[in-house]
Every structure is written in C-alpha cells, then in structure tokens.
Structure 1
Amino acid sequence: MEKNGENVGTHNLVDLTVLDLGNNFLTGTIPIGIGKLNNARKLWFHANELSGQIAPSLGNISQLLVLSLYENNLSGSIPSTIGNCINLQFIYLDDNKFSSSLPRQLFIFPSLIELYIGNNSFTDSLPVEVGNLKTLSTLSVSDNKLSGEIPISLGDCLSLENLWLDGNFFQESIPPTFSTLRGLRSLDLSRNNLSGEIPKYLGKLALESLNLSFNNFEGELPKQGVFGNASQVSVLGNNKLCGGIPELNLPQCSSQASKKQREYLPSKVKISVVVVVLCLMLVSCIFATLYWVRKSRRKPVDVPSAEDPFVTMSYTELFKATDGFSSANLVGTGSFGAVYKGALDRDGTMVAVKVFNLQQQGALRSFMAECEALKNIRHRNLVKILTCCVSIDFKGNDFKALVYEYMPNESLDKWLHKDGHEQLGRNLKFTQMLNIAIDVASALDYLHNHCQTPIIHRDLKPSNILLDDDMIARVGDFGLARFLPEVAQTSLVGIKGSVGYIAPGNNFVYYLIYFLVYECINMKTNAHPPILAISFRGD
C-alpha cells in the first residue's frame, strides 16, 4: 500500500465512494493518505496481509458507512479518531493482532448495525458505552482477553440479535438486564469465568442458539424455551449444574429430605400409587382421544403447505436488503404502510417488503388479516408470500412486515395511467388486457370457490394487481380480506374496500374486461373512470 514511504495513488481517488481491495495479497501498511478520500462510503481491505496500525487519518472520512479490515495482520490500537466517522454502520476488525484496550469512541455510533472485533487480543473490560449502540444487531468480541463483569448497559441494545462474548475472561453472573433483549436469537457466553445460577428469563427470549459451556454456573437448569431443545443449547463443562431435559444428561436436582422420605415409603404403597396413576392416565388418554376425534370431524385442521416452507428473515436482513428502507427503493404506499424492493444478501433474490405503520389505526388488524388469508393459499395468479417478520426495529419499536416475491412490471395502475407529470412510456395491447382480465378472474374464482374456506378480497383495483416478468397478473394486498362465513354474517349496509369489486356473478368476467378496456381508453388523458372516483368505507 506504500512505496518508498510515499502514498501510492490516493491523490487521484479523492472522489471515490467505494474502494474494494479485499481478497488480495496486499502487504505493508494502510497509507496515511487514506484520509484524503473524503467522499468514501465503503472501504474493503479485508483478507490481505496488511500490517501496522490503522492510520489515524481514517477519521477524516466522515461519510464512511462500511469499514472492512478483517483477516489481516493489523496490530496496536484502534485510533480514537475513528469516532469522527459518525455515520459508520458496519465495522469488521476481526482476525487481526490488535492488543490494546477498546477505545470508547468505538461505541458512540448512532447507526451502527454490526461490530466484529473477535479473534484479537483486546484487553481490559468491555466499555459501558456499548449501551449507546441502540441500532446494533450483531456484536462479536469472541476470543480476546477481555475481563471484568459483562456491562449491564448491554441491556440497552434493544436491537441485538447476535451477541457473542465467548473466549474471554468475563466474571460474575449474567446481567439481569439481558431480559430486555426481546429480539436476541443467538447468545454465546462459553469459555469464560461466569458463575451463579442461569437466569430463567433466558427461556422466555426468542433464542435459537445458546452456548453457556465451560463456565462455573450452578443450580437447576431451566427447561422452558431454548432449554427444551438439546440441539440449541450447550452447557458442557459446568459441573455444578443439575436438572434440565434428559437429553442434556445432567444429574437430577433432589433435596436430602425428599430423598429420605422416598426411602421410607413401603414398597406396597409405592406400587399402589403407580397403579392408580397409570389407571388415571389411561382414562385421561381415552377421553382425550374421543374429544379430539369428535373435534376433528367438526372442523378440519389447516395444514400449511410443505412445498414452500417459510424462511426466517430478521429485521436486520430486511434493513440491509432495502438499503435501510431508503426512498430510492420505495415501490408504493398504502393506507397501512409502504412497500420497498430489495435484494437478499443470502442469494440475491429480489423481494418486495411490505412494512406496516403500526401507529396507523387498523394497521395491525390489516397485518393479521393478510397473514390469515395468505397462510394456506397458493395460486399462480396470487402474489406469492415468502415469509413475515415480527421483530423490533433499531429504536426498540415493534416491527411487522410481509415479504413477497418481487413483481418487476409493478402494478396494473402504473400501466394504465400517467404518473404525475411524467409521460406514459408503456402501452397495453388488447390481448394483454384480456389475458390480465382472465388472470384476475382465475384468482378470484380460486379464492371464492376452491379454497378450503372461501375468501373475499374486498379491495380489488388496478394498484393491487401486479404483473410479473411475463405480464402474468397477480392479485395482492389482502389487508381487507375476509372469510366467507365471516362476510355472510355481516350486514351489507356497510361496504368495505374500493368500488370496482363486487363478489362475482355469472357476468363478472365480462364486467372486468369492460372495466380494463374503459381504463385503457382513458389512460392517455389520465382520467379515471367514474367507478374509481368513488370509495365506500364502512364496517
């Protein structure tokens, strides 16, 4: 990176926004001239053989978002000037040779999402300022030489999903403030000097992985939540633990008094108790079986399709996919939220993310209605739902979103009408309109006549009809949908949704074709037909 003590080429890169030199064989030190890249947003120097310290001039790059220096031979300390890069969101310093204490300036970034500093030799304690990282999703300080107590301020990082503190010298007990980390999925505290009892509240969190092995924990191990799955929890090397599920092979927790009492029970009494218990269990099983058989005859059980199992997506993953739910990725807005397009990091799949504004009255009900309507229906003319996300955002607020397959040709409404003052650049042929009408009619026929429980959409309009790569129409937005028995019991005095959709009769397809043709005729003047100019609202 340097030649004869001089910086190489940085004076020609002052307008650069992204510099990716990762996965090469670069040697030497990070040049002092790096600070001249005032417009840089992303610096990737990872997986090289760089040595020495991080240049303090790095703090001049105030617009920096991503700093990736992992898998090098960097040493010394992290310069305090890094605190000037106030916009940092992702910091990757793991797998180096840093050996100082952690500067407090590393924990002041208001928008930091991921911080990886594992596999180094950082010493002293983890600064209490870590609690300032309100938007932090992943914190990895694994395999360092950190000591002291785990800061209770970590409980203020309400957005944490992955917390890895393993391979250090942390002491004392697990902080009680961890009970506030409702979104925590992975917690690794293994290979430390932690002691005390394991808190029962850990079983109430949404943990999918918990590693407490090789510490000095004692007492009874809980059985709730993550503790009920031996493949998700590890407590090896804690010789004073007892209880837990049998698969963990821990000794039973038993008091001496209860043990002596059991020893003095006559054998006949023990046998009688066992027989009575077995008889009661047998009778209970018979009644339970009869009850469930009768219940299953009255109401069929909904079984989700196994062909398309939902994948798990976190708030952080959706945040990255949509570039922080930026306006550049905004596809459209509705009564209860907004829709963003994005690309998933895991495989590059394009998705549409519908984020619900839970402050809006009726948004939560709309979310629940859409989940209920879409969980068991599959049709080529319905927008395919990939998964839902129920979590908390970086501010600690409830977050709910639905993730759909992305429709590149957007909505029918954008094909039929001008967008503001922009000239319409798309035209529909009559055959395309006819095919779209047939697609929509097929979707409604499926919803009304072929679902296990018929579904009424109640809000069919051009903006809720989406078009895929092949211009095949997909009906979406089931926020106002209702199941037929529910609708049948409702008075017809109040009509919900947008005018332009009434439950189909014998001539529905003809009305729909007429509706589309009417739209096409009026699209050049951007005039909506009268049927769209009126909106009924009611319960």
Structure 2
Amino acid sequence: MKSPQALSYLSYAFHISILFYGLAITCLISATVSASYDGNETDYLALLSFKSMITQDPYQVLTTWNHSFHFCDWSGISCGKRHRRVTALQLDSQGLEGSLSPHVGNLSFLRKLSLSKNSFQGTIPHELGRLSRIRHLYLDDNEFSGVIPTNLSRCSNLEELWLYQNELTGSIPKEMSLLSKLVVLVIQENKLTGGIPPFLGNITTMEVFSARGNPLGGNIPDTLGLWKSLTQFYCGVCRLYGSIPHSIFNLSLLVNISLPYNHLTGNLPSEIGYQLPNLEYLQLNHNELTGVLSPSISNCSKLKHLEMGNNSFSGKLTINFSKLGGIYVILLENNNFHGRGEADDMRFIESLKNCTKLVKLQLYNCNLRGVLPLSIGNLSDQLRFLNLAKNQLFGSLPSSIGNLVGLTTLDLGSNRFKTNIPTTIGKLQNLQRLSLSRNQFSGPIGDAFGNLSMLTELYLHFNKLSDLIPSSLGNCEKLNALDLSNNRLTGNIPKQLLQLSSLTYYLDLSQNNLSGSIPSEIKDLKMLSGLDLSHNKLSGIITSSLGECISLTILSLSSNIFEGIIPPSFSSLKGLKVLDISQNDLSGKIPQFLDKWNSLELLNLSFNDFEGEVPVVGVFANASAFSVMGNNRLCGGLVTLELPKCKETRIIVIAPTLLVVLCCVYLLCKKKRNGQPSQSSGSEQFMKVSYNQLLKATDGFSVANLIGEGGFSYVYKGILDSNTDKLVAIKVLHLQNRGAQKSFLAECEAWRSIRHRNLLKIITSCSSVDFQGNDFKALVYEFMPNESVHNWLHSSAYTSKLILLQRINILRDVATALDYLHNRCQTTIVHGDLKPSNILLDADMVAHVGDFGLARLLGSELNQNSSTGVKGTIGYAPPEYGLGSGMTSIGDVYSFGILLLEVMTGKKPTDDMFNDGLSLHKFAYMALPDHIIDVIDDDAIVLQSTEANAMKVEECLVATIKIGVSCSVDSPPQRMKIETVVIELERILHVLQNI
C-alpha cells in the first residue's frame, strides 16, 4: 500500500503532464490558426461564421474554406495587399442556400459584398451597417425577407445598393437619405409599400433608380428633380398615380425612362424632345396619359425604344420618325390617333423609311384612318413585327408589302381592306404569324400562301374570299392554327391540308360553301385540338377516320348535310369537351359511349333524325349541357325534356293535331265575348289563304326564296297579291318534327291577342293539306327587308355593320316589346326563345321580336297542356330551365341580357373562347368599368372628336354592359326588371343622341 505522500506526488505529476499536453495542443492550434488568418482573427472568424450558416453548397465553392489555406486564398475572397484584410466577398450565382451571418458586419475592410443570384433567406442583418468602407452591396435575386435595415444608412461610402428580386416588405426607410454618395439604388421586384418618399431627392448623386414591380402606391415626388445626374429611372408596375412632375423632364441626362403599368395621368410636355435630348428608352405604356403625342419627340435623335401604348393619347400622329435613325422598337397601340380623313393621315409611314434598324412596329387599335401607302414597302428589311390591326385602313393592300422580307409577324386584321390579297405576300418567307382577318378581301386565297413554309398561324376569317381552298397550303408544314371561316369558299376540303400533322391548335373552315365529304386523310391530324367544319354543304357519312383525331377537345360539324350514324370510332375521342353535330340528316340511336365521357361539357344533337331512348347519365344528366331538340323519334331521358315514354310514343303524337286545328279556328273566328276591348282592332279581319296560294307566292317553295330555317320550320319570302308586289314572309311548319304542331299552337295563341310596334306583325295563317294529302300549316308575316340582328352581327355577307346608336335602339325596341308581353298584356306572355336570329329589322331598322313557337301564356289552360319539352336555345336559355324550372318572364330577362351582351361585344355565348369557366356574362363583367373598350365590338364604336364626348360614349358603354350583366346573373330574383331596363336604355339613348 502506497503512502499518502506518494499518492499526492503521483497526482501532482499527472496534472503537470496534462497541463503540458494542453499547452502543446494550444500552441499547435495557435500555429495553424495563425497560418490561416495571419493575425487577422476577426476576418477569419467572420468568414467561418458565414460558412456555418450555409445549408446548401451544390458547386462545393466553400470546400477551400478551411485551415489548409489562408482565407485570402479562399474562393470568392479578395484581400488588400498591405493589411491582408478582406476587401471583397463575391459568390454570385453559386446556388448557395441558407441565411446571411450577422458576423459579416465584422469584415471592417470590406468594400464589396456580392451574393447575387443565390437562395439566401431570412432578414438582411442590420450588422451590415458596420461596414463603413463598403461601396458596392449586391444582395439581389435571393429570398431575403423583412424590411430594409435602417442601419445601412451608416454605410456612408456606399455607392451601389442592389436589393432587387427578393421578398422585402415595409417602406423605404427615411435613413436612406443619409447615403450621400449613393449612385445606384435598385430595389425592384420586392413587396415594398409606402410610395416613393420625397426625401430620396436629397441623394443628389443618384444616377440609377429602379423600384419596378413594387406595390408602392402614391405619386412621383417633385423632389426627384434634384437628381441632376440621373440617367435611368425605372418605376413600372408600382401603382403610381397623378401626373409626372415637370421637374423630371428637366433632367437632361436621362437616357432611360420606364414607368409602364401605372395610373399616371395628364399630358406630356410639348417640348419633351428638346428637354431630354439624350433619351434612348421611353416606356410609358399602360397608363392614363392624354393629349397629343408631341412631335418634338423627333428631336430625341438617340431614341431606340418608344413604347407609349395603352394610353389615351389623341390627335394626329405627327412624329417625324426620319430623324430617329437608330430606333428599333415603336409600340403605340391602343391609343386614339384619329385623323380627319385627310390624304396624309398615314404620312408618318413615309418618314419611317430612314429607320433602318426598326424591328418592331405596333399601332393596332389606334383609330388610324386612310389608305396604307405604297411606302410601307420601304420600311427596314430588319422589320420583324408589324401590327396595324383594328384600325380603319381601307383600299387595297399595297403589293409593296412583299418587300418586307424580314417579317415574322404581320397583323392587318379588323380593317376595311378590299380587293384581292396581293400575290407578293408569298415573298414573306420568314412569316410565322399572319392575320388578314375581319376585312373585305375578295377573290381566291391563291397559291402564294404555299410559299410561306415557316408559317405557324394563318388567320383569314371574316372576309369575302371565294373559290377553292388552295392545296398549296399543304406546303406550310409548320402550320398549327388555320382559320378560314366566314368566307365564301367552295369546293372540297383539300387532302393536302388535312395531311399537315403540324396542325395542333385548331382548324376552322366553318361558315363557307364547302361541299363533298370529309376526306379520310383527316386521320393525320392526331394532335389537333379544335375542328370546326360547321355551316357548310358537306355531305355523305361522317368518316370514321375522325376517330383517330384523339386530341380533339372541340368538334363541330353542325349545319351540313351529313347522313348516316355517328361513327363508332368516335368512342376514341375521350377528351372531347364540345361536340356539335346538330342540323344534319344523321340517324340511328344515340351511341352509348357518349354518356361515358367525363370530359364532355356540351353536346348538341339537335335537328337530326335520331331515334330511341335518350340516356340519363353522364352529360345527359345535365339538361343545360346537351340538346336533342328537333329529333321527333326520341323518347325517355330527363323529365325536364318532356319527351314521351318510349313505349307510349304513338299515343302522344296524336293529341296535338286536334289542338292545332282548334287553335287556328279560335284564331280566325273567335270574337271577344267578355265585353273587354281586344288589344288588336276589333274590326281587323284576317285574309284567307290556301296551300295553293302560298305555293304560287313562293314559286313552289323554291330554294331561291328560302330566307331562314329553324327547328320547326322553313321561312320563305313571297308575294301574295301580285297587284301590290308586297313581300311577305311565310313560315311553313315541319309537321314531321316532334313539337312542330305544338309550336304552331303556341304561336297561334300568342298572336291571337297581341299587337305592338316592336312585335312582328302576323297577316294570316293557313291550316290545310298539300297536294299529296299531308297536313300543311303555315303562318304569314310582314316581310322584314333588313333580316335578323344575327346576320348583321355575324354574317360575312354584310359589309356594313351596326353602329353604336343603332345597337342601343335595337336593344331598346326589344326591351319595350318584352315589357309589353310581360306587363301590359291581359295574360303574361313568355317568349321563351329570345336570341338575335329572332329579332328582325324593318326598312327603318326598327326591331321586331318574332318566332313565338316556344311562347307560354302564363296561367292559361293552353300553357298547362302544351309543353313541348324545349326551353330555349343553348347559350340563351337561363340556367334554371336546365334544372327543371318552368318558363317565366324573368327567364326572358336572362335571355335578353345575353342578347344585349352579344349585340355589344359581337360574340356569341357559344363562342369557342368561352370555356374553362369563362362565359359571355363573366367576360363582360370582368371588363367593368375600366376595360370596357376592350370587350366592345370594334364595329360598334365611332370615336368622338372631343375627349369629353369620348368619355360620354364610354360611360354609355359601361351603363349598357351593366344592364346586360345584371339581366344575365344566374339568380332569377337578382335580375333587373324589364321595365327598369327600358328606362335605363332610354336614358342612354338620350345621351348618345345629344353627343
């Protein structure tokens, strides 16, 4: 056993050895650290702290940051030669993630900190305010949040501060005004609020200021005029309002001004071009600026980019562009550069020939009037983009357009060009997008288009083009969208066109006179999304090859002469959202696969000869999503269709015949027996006509005299009395169609007791038999020489269009007629099928409501027993009808609202654009009140000569669209009353008539 002294000695010796060992380790570490930071521990530890807070280093840029190297040799680090202290930390675009260590504030010799384009998060450390020597601070394109630290004001030598594209909030701190050496402040693309503070004007060294893309609000302070060295000013999309201070235009060194997408108002100074001689970039688009676009801009000889679109500039465009030889972009769209019809309205085009670097010229919807001069062909061969659409250019399109061989986009749509499309268009072999739609071009399309091998989009719709579709279009092997609709094209669909596998967006050949069958080559369009061949004269069976177009979402074959069954191959079209094969001669049963498509949103099988049972599942479970009207051999289906039970079809068909005869006798013979005066003249007598008289009056019901066709009838023009040569309209019922007898009955009952200046006048009726002994029934009306509102809105045959005053007059007339039917008849009458094709115009353009084939007399015994099962037309019928509700006057109000919106926008409620939740109602509603001009039919608006009058017109447009929106809401109780509609339209008319 060891003595206590020995144990004490051993313990002492152990502690001494531990002490020496610790000293040795400390010395070793000290030597290593000394080697790493050479005595500058503060910088070394600050950098290690920076590294410790990095969570992702995908490029391993920080692997050199270890004790094996002096920190001055680490990646991204620069040091001063004298003191070996860190002067720059630069790690841009390294994919670094993490937060920024506050210890960076200890790098007291730092002059540049650049961490752009990484993923730093969290707040910007206020400790950066310790960096008194820093001149350049780049923290842009990260994910910093929180506020801008007020301590940055202590960085008294700071010259550049880049904080853009982060998530910074709050306002610009007042302390920023202390940065007296600041030259560049870039804070764009954050979430800063509180406006542009006036105190920033105290930083008189400012040369570049960018706050674009912040919801700052407020106005531009006049104090920014103290920035005498300012060269670049970017504050677009900042919710700024008010006028641009005149002090800004005194900053003669300005090179770039960019203030788009704000709410700036007022005029630009007339001397702007002399005040800003160094200007290269002027961007003030999407504001509310007014007045004349000053011709002094011609003095900005260094100007390269001029973007002033989407304002309210007015007056003639008189800038002399010949002085702007270096300009490459001119964007002036959506203004009102109205001329007075003078010969030189388009003179500015001539001045553009000196702009040899011009790449983009955009002047659509500027109310430009006149002839496009030949000098258009003298524009720069560098020109890539030319858009003059939605103006009032007329005459022929100059053949010199073919000189612009650099064009990739040419849009001249919605003008008034006439005559043939020049063949020189084929020289534009770089074209990718070409639109000549909504003009009055005539003649053949021509083979020249086949030279445009780069073309991806071609729009020639709504013209008067005739002859065949050229097979040379098959050479356009990159074409993905083609619209030739609403022309006068004839002949077959060329096979070469259908072999363009590039067609993926849509192919629209509707509203022409095409004939023949659909070529089997249609199968090559496997990626096509939309196909519209409606309203032609296509015939034969529907080719089964269509079933191979498996990408189709919209398919319309309506209003042709197709026969046979729906091809079984259609079962492969499982992505279809819209299928319209109405108004053909198709037969057979409704295929079972149709009720299994989950994607189908609209199915129209109406006016064919389908037979058998209507399903009640899938799309057939929603009465507002499909139509089978005009197929008199169908049965079953939803109760709301009111079709016969399949086993009782024969019994139901018999009953209406007797009712029709009784109604006609009632119409022609009944006298008022209750002592109350009739609403028509008591002495009025209906003339009697026979089948033979009507046969002669219409020249044997010849096609030449056919002026209309509906689900239950054909309408012919004819002359009953050869002595007067007075035309009448003769409506001959399709008695073989189920519901036709009831339609006749409804019209008889309605016309029996109504007379109004805005209702179509009935002359007589005929209930007889034809020469084969078949039942024959017809109604004879007063002839309407100006046909239907539908034709004025949508037919390419109408070269002139309805102006605004005419449209409001028509709407007032229709509303007045509805008010009479709903509120001023002894029995309330519901029209049930209000739409533009049922609104007819007389010689004085007065509107008359016609076609009462679906009318209901509310409360009458006839109404209770004569339901046809058809409740209006898809798009115009109110949603409650699809849910089984009975017809009501408030349902008519909904139809009127949709009609009003169609008349004002020129768009049908079934337009292809209305999908994915967008409807005509919502389209109009979203435009209120600030974007109303964007949705109004271009043909409706004649811009006024003064700003005050233009404002009045816009107010009237807003008021009118509000009526349509209010009438077409889904909830019936919330719809505007028709008597209120009449009052409001009368008020709008009064304003327009006094402008």
TM range, smaller chain: 0.3 to 0.5
Larger Rg: 2
Higher RCO, 1 vs 2 (CA within 8 Å, ≥6 residues apart): 1
TM-score (norm 2): 0.26
